[in-house]
């Protein structure tokens, strides 16, 4: 099966396969590296990095739901300087390509973070998080503000030739408008999507199970929603799509690719099976063999009405 080509090109970045590990579900790669071979993965997307370290929200921050989980971590992270000093050397050692996810509460802060990180060779691209549902400032506000998303894309594009990806929110009705503005301002791709806003109550205390009251729903429960968003963008906007939402196995991944995704991210599944990425790569090869194709990227957007 060595003649099967799983590589994907997104912007200037060529990845050995379309399997990405989603932001916030594998930290900076160090913990998961004990359980899987990160050098086999297409790319790791880092936990959102912000200019200054963030503690995130108070606990309880995570709750299990039927077919998924709710999280309100609130972008806890070490901050860009510590990330550069302490986390990048480890990622260089495990020889994985890295997409750095950036979160910020102002346009200037996004630009400053990218400026600090743009010359690290291991960072192949930036995923700009404008869609975190768990922070009061930045994040969701940008995710709902189309002109802010346009300006962020424009300013980040102006300072780097590396691949720029906008991670979009499913929590508004018109995701294609956001994808279009990202395309127009020079983004190389969009990630569709981040988590869906949800909540859960403890019936005995009559209080929300999450201190933040609401959290982001992820896992198999959101797959049909994410799939419909990928399909919608694929039909209306000419921009590569990286799928994210409920992908648990290679069959899910193939579905997203048929609907229009060039690559995809594994999130919640990493908590259940940290080796899922490597297993999915094998599954993708078997699929290609079964349907008689030698280049996996040929199946992207093969569904047409």
Ligand X SMILES: Cc1cc2nc3c(=O)[nH]c(=O)nc-3n(C[C@H](O)[C@H](O)[C@H](O)COP(=O)(O)O)c2cc1C
Contact residues for ligand X (CB under 6 A)?
22-25, 47-48, 69, 71, 73, 75, 101, 129, 132, 167, 194-195, 218-219, 222, 244-247, 266-268
Do the Cβ atoms of 119 and 102 come closer than 8 Å? Answer: no
Q: Which is nearer to ligand X, 23 or 33 (CB)?
A: 23
Q: Which residue is nearest to ligand X (CB)?
A: 24
Residue carrying structure tokens 């990622």: 91
Cβ 199 to ligand X shortest distance, Å: 15
Output 113 or 289, the one with its CB closest to ligand X: 113
Query: What are 141's two structure tokens?
Result: 């506000």
Give the gyration radius of the chain's Cα atoms: 18
For 179, the 3-state DSSP assignment is helix
Q: Encoding tokens for residue 262?
A: 């060039």
Nearest distance from C-beta of residue 267 to ligand X, angstroms: 2
Return the number of the residue (88 or 100) whose C-beta is nearest ligand X. Answer: 100
Cis peptide before 7 (omega within 30 of 0): no
Give the CA distances from residue 151 to residues 136, 166, 184, in Å, rounded to whole numbers and listed in that order.
Answer: 20, 12, 11
C-beta of 151: minimal distance to ligand X in Å?
Answer: 19
Nearer Cβ to ligand X (18/245): 245
User: Which residues belong to the active site?
Assistant: 132
Minimum CB distance to ligand X, residue 101 (Å): 5
d(CA 123, CA 162): 8
Least Å distance between CB 269 and ligand X?
6
- By C-beta, is 8 or 75 nearer to ligand X? 75
Residue by residue, DSSP assigns 24-38 as TSSTTSTTGGGTS-G
Report, in Å, the least distance between residue 192 CB and ligand X: 9
Widest CA span of the chain, in angstroms?
A: 58
- Cα distances from 96 to residues 4, 48, 50, 110, 278, in angstroms, run 21, 17, 21, 24, 13
Per-residue CA distances from 9 to 17, 152, 163, 193, 292 (Å)? 9, 23, 10, 20, 22
Specify the residue, 192 or 239, whose C-beta has the smaller distance to ligand X. 192
| Backbone φ and ψ of 270, nearest 5° | -60, -25
């Amino acid at each position: 099966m060595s003649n099967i080509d799983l590589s994907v090109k997104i912007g200037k970045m060529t990845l050995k396969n379309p399997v990405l590990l989603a932001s916030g579900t594998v930290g900076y790669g160090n913990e998961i590296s004990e359980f899987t071979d990160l050098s086999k993965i297409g790319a790791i997307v880092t936990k959102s990095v912000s200019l200054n370290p963030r503690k995130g929200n108070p606990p309880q921050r995570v709750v299990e739901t039927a077919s998924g989980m709710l999280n309100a971590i609130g972008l806890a992270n070490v901050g860009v300087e510590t990330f550069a000093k302490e986390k990048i050397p480890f990622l260089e050692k495990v020889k994985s390509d890295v997409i750095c996810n950036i979160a910020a509460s102002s346009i200037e802060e996004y630009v400053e973070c990218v400026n600090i990180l743009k010359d690290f060779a291991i960072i192949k691209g930036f995923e700009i998080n404008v869609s975190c549902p768990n922070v009061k400032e930045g994040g969701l506000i940008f995710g709902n503000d189309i002109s802010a998303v346009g300006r962020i894309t424009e300013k980040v594009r102006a300072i780097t030739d590396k691949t720029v990806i906008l991670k979009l929110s499913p929590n508004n009705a018109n995701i294609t408008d956001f994808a279009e503005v990202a395309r127009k301002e020079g983004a190389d791709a969009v990630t569709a999507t981040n988590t869906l806003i949800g909540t859960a109550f403890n019936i005995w205390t009559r209080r929300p199970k999450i201190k933040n009251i609401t959290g982001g729903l992820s896992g198999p429960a959101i797959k049909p929603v994410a799939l419909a968003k990928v399909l919608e963008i694929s039909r209306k906007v000419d921009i590569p799509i990286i799928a994210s939402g409920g992908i648990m196995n290679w069959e899910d991944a193939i579905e997203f690719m048929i609907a229009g995704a060039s690559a995809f991210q594994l999130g919640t599944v990493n908590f259940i099976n940290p080796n899922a990425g490597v297993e999915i790569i094998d599954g993708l090869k078997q699929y290609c063999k079964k349907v008689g194709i030698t280049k996996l990227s040929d199946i992207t957007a093969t569904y047409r009405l």
